[in-house]
Amino acid sequence: MANIELKNVTKSFGKKKALNDISLQVHDKEFFVLFGPAGAGKTTILKTIAGIELPEKGLVKFDGEIVNLVEPAQRNVSMVFENYALYPHITAYDNIASPMRSPLYKKDEDYIKDRVMKVAALMKIDHLMDRLPARMSNGQRQRVALGRCLVREPKVFLMDEPLAHLDAKLRHFMRAELKEMQANFNTTTIYVTHDYMEALSLGDRIAVINNGQIEQLGTGDEMYYTPVNEFVARLFGEPEINIIDAEFVLDGGNKGVRLLNQIKSFDIPEDVYDALVATGKTQFHIGLRAIDLSYSFERQTEHDIHGQVYSIEPIGNKAVLNVDVNDSILRTVSPPDLNAEMDSDIFVSINMKNAMFFDAESHELVVRHNQAQYTKAVK
Amino acid sequence: MFSENQSLLSRLIQNLLLIIYSIFALFPLFWMALITFKSDLQMFNTTFFFTPTLENYKAVLIGTDYIKTFIDNVIVSGGAVLVSVLAGVPAAYALARFNFKYKEDLAFTILSFKFAPEILVILPLFMIYQKLHLYDTYLGLIWVYQLITMPLLIWVVRGYFEDISVEVEQAAELDGYPWYSVFWKILLPLIKPGLVASALLAFIFAWNSFTFSLQLSGFNIQTVTVASLRYIASDTVHYGQMAVAATIAALPEVILALLIQKHLVRGLSFGAVKG
């Protein structure tokens, strides 16, 4: 149970800046997710909080107290490492028991046995307790590592991709389990992942990290509906968001945008129009989630965009339908059993109400319809 | 897939080859032990059948101060290995874990001590030792033996440290162990095979060292390798006595190697760390 704060933390490895002026605050009992591409600096943030890496500049605070000079052992944090970091020479049981046998967090053996077996049952690894890490699969090692982390009652759990090496079924199960545990444990958790579904389903709040900086910090809904820039927009959602060039049309009473070389312009909502006018620019990028595009094989309205079927990728309960419109590819979703010839004609209609408008130069969000509904303040 | 006969045949050949090899390897030892029991008279005119005698042992162990040279050798070689372990393990850790300027150059310099022929450096060393009054002292020999024992130990143990991911140490720290417990409980068991094997090899090299102890020690301290020379007199060579000296000199190495055999098998810790 702790409130954790990073203030202007900067850290470099050689010439590469791993963290660049990171400030964030994790509330007590919060499930906080650090999300971003590989090499963004997520792990470094965790290690800085754990005290394994020391920041060059900036402060790390636990419950308002500066802990920059507190030894990792004394910080009372529990961490899952991405490469498991199991002790190779002792069994899974001893690995999980290790934190409770250290001089700092010493417990008696009966208590240890009880705790370890409970955690092992939870992780479904109770049959592996006598094995050395070398004789386990990666998924099993990862669960032992997670067990060693959860067996304690620390101020904060730090988890570095703890589910990355599990098979899909187990991953979904463990995800639900973690969510449940978090609610019961009343412990702050900081969780690193590069899987947007984990981020959205687990995180009370999410910080999107890129190049050692925080791109956006907020709830999952904020990330999904009002990403601050195209980078964040692309990270969330499967298939990836469509981002297309759009030209703002100002002639006469025509309030709309033109895109994809279509003759007809698309009407846009009033609030969006006002915001676009306010920028004084005419070139934008428009972000459209796949579900905001619908398709049909016959022209329904004059606004439908004519294209050709480019490819269909079934992904289980749906398929990603790629449509070629004047050499740009639009991604939309279809039922997995969609029967369509390659290169056959197809018509796409756009739900402009859900479109996000980004500045063409800075790639930052300008506006979306009913923005206030999704967020209190755009950061 | 081998049939029953073929696998029997191949096993037979394997064993035959191994037997031939072990005869090849062990015969010199056997021959050395054998001639310790021969008198000088029967040395050249008998092979396997002769009248065994303990005269050679008596002459060497009681007639000369061989036992003292043996103890000297234990002190010097054992001391050299001990110093190498105490200084070399931290050095190996630093070379494996920390980044500092000229790290690889330093590591290579340490290794290069093993390249230089001892005879090349012996003259300047001799003069330095005379000036520093290290000539013919235990400290002096232990010091110079570091050239033999330290590089080997550092390079082997460094490799072991590098194979342990740094996160394992960090995990132990977060588990609440102070640094010395991390070293004692986590690192030491993982480097043990390498440490034991390299320490044993270092001991054998130090034990067998000839040039340094010949040049840098005199009458106070004598090692067994140098002492063995005494049995070459101006008129005759006492092969029997020399064989006794050599046999006794070889004993500690053989016994140690047998004791430590199981640690010489490398590979306890791998796979788990690297995952």
Q: Where are the domains of chain A?
A: 4-229, 232-374
Which of B84-88, B165-169, B262-266 is predicted with the least confidence, judged by mean pLDDT?
A: B262-266
Quickly name the fold that domain B63-264 has. Answer: MetI-like fold (1.10.3720)
* Structure tokens belonging to residue B183: 């070293």
Task: Provide the ipTM.
Answer: 0.81
pLDDT digits (tens, 9 = 90+) for A175-216: 888 888 877 777 889 999 988 888 998 889 999 999 989 999
Nearest to A102 among B168, B175, B272 (CB): B175
Q: Which of A12-26, B79-93, B152-166 has the highest mean pLDDT?
A: B79-93
* Mean pLDDT calculated for residue range B203-218: 88
Confidence check: pLDDT of B275 > 60: no
B172 neighbourhood in chain A, CB within 8 Å: 87, 98
Could you give the percent of chain A with pLDDT greater than 70?
97
Amino acid A370: pLDDT? 77
pLDDT digits (tens, 9 = 90+) for A320-334: 889 888 888 889 988
Helices (H), B36-137: 55-57, 66-97, 103-112, 118-132
* Mean pLDDT calculated for residue range A307-325: 87
Q: Could you tell me which residues come within 8 angstroms of residue A227 by beta carbon, excluding any fewer than 6 positions away? A: A216, A233, A235, A236, A287, A356, A365
Confidence check: pLDDT of B5 > 70: no
A103·B178 Cβ contact <8 A = yes
- What is the rounded distance in angstroms from the CA atom of residue B207 to the CA atom of residue A220? 69
- Which residue, among B175, B183, B184, B270, would best test binding to A if mutated, counting the most A CBs under 10 Å from its CB? B175
Contact A46, A237 (CB under 8 A): no
Helix (H, G, I), strand (E, B) or coil at A261: coil
Nearest to B176 among A52, A87, A103 (CB): A103
Contact A364, A358 (CB under 8 A): yes
- What is the rounded distance in angstroms from the CA atom of residue B272 to the CA atom of residue B147? 34
More confident residue, B81 or B265: B81
Contact status of B271 with chain A (Cβ, < 8 Å): yes
Which of A72-76, A169-173, A300-304 is predicted with the least confidence, judged by mean pLDDT?
A: A300-304
Question: pLDDT grade, residue B271 (50/70/90)?
Answer: very low
Contact status of B35 with chain A (Cβ, < 8 Å): no
A88·B176 Cβ contact <8 A = no
Same fold for the pair A4-229 and A232-374: no
The domain limits of chain B are 63-264
A86 neighbourhood in chain B, CB within 8 Å: 168, 171, 272
Query: How distant is the alpha carbon of residue A360 from its chain centre?
Result: 24
Contact A41, A59 (CB under 8 A): no
Amino acid A104: pLDDT? 86
B275·A83 Cβ contact <8 A = yes
A86·B168 Cβ contact <8 A = yes
Confidence check: pLDDT of B272 > 50: no
Q: How high does pLDDT run on average in chain B?
A: 85
Q: Could you tell me which residues come within 8 angstroms of residue B184 by beta carbon, excluding any fewer than 6 positions away? A: none
Could you tell me the CATH superfamily of domain A232-374?
Answer: Nucleic acid-binding proteins (2.40.50.140)
Question: pLDDT grade, residue A379 (50/70/90)?
Answer: very low
pTM of the model: 0.80
- Sign, CA dihedral A42-A43-A46-A48, equals negative
In degrees to the nearest 10, what's the CA dihedral of B230, B236, B240, B241? -20
Contact A77, A49 (CB under 8 A): yes
Contact status of B186 with chain A (Cβ, < 8 Å): yes
Element (H, E) at A205: strand A205-210
Question: pLDDT grade, residue A117 (50/70/90)?
Answer: very high
* Mean pLDDT calculated for residue range B175-191: 91
Could you give the percent of chain B with pLDDT greater than 90?
31
Amino acid B19: pLDDT? 95
- What is the rounded distance in angstroms from the CA atom of residue B81 to the CA atom of residue B200? 8
Confidence check: pLDDT of B268 > 60: no
A87 neighbourhood in chain B, CB within 8 Å: 168, 171-172, 186
Nearest to A73 by CA among A106, A95, A43: A106
Residue of A nearest to B171 (CA): A85
Amino acid B53: pLDDT? 83
Residue of A nearest to B168 (CA): A85
pLDDT digits (tens, 9 = 90+) for A369-378: 777 777 654 4
Contact B225, B210 (CB under 8 A): yes
* A-B C-beta contacts closer than 8 Å: 81
Amino acid A326: pLDDT? 82
A88·B177 Cβ contact <8 A = no
Amino acid B4: pLDDT? 62
Q: Which of A247-261, A352-366, B127-141 has the highest mean pLDDT?
A: B127-141
Amino acid A1: pLDDT? 64
Amino acid B265: pLDDT? 59
Contact status of A156 with chain B (Cβ, < 8 Å): no
Quickly name the fold that domain A4-229 has. Answer: Rossmann fold (3.40.50)
* Mean pLDDT calculated for residue range A78-96: 91
Nearest to A105 among B172, B173, B176 (CB): B176
Contact status of B170 with chain A (Cβ, < 8 Å): yes
Contact status of B63 with chain A (Cβ, < 8 Å): no
Nearest to A77 among B174, B178, B271 (CB): B174
Contact status of A279 with chain B (Cβ, < 8 Å): no
Residue type, position A97, single letter: A
Q: Phi and psi dihedrals of A293, rounded to 5? A: -110, 135
Q: Could you tell me which residues come within 8 angstroms of residue A162 by beta carbon, excluding any fewer than 6 positions away? A: A80, A142, A145, A146, A149, A174, A178, A191
Amino acid A254: pLDDT? 67
Q: How high does pLDDT run on average in chain A?
A: 86
Amino acid A217: pLDDT? 92
For chain B, the 3-state helix, strand and coil shares in percent, each to the nearest 5, are 75, 0, 25
Strand runs labelled E in A222-327: 242-249, 256-259, 266-267, 283-288, 293-296, 305-314, 319-325
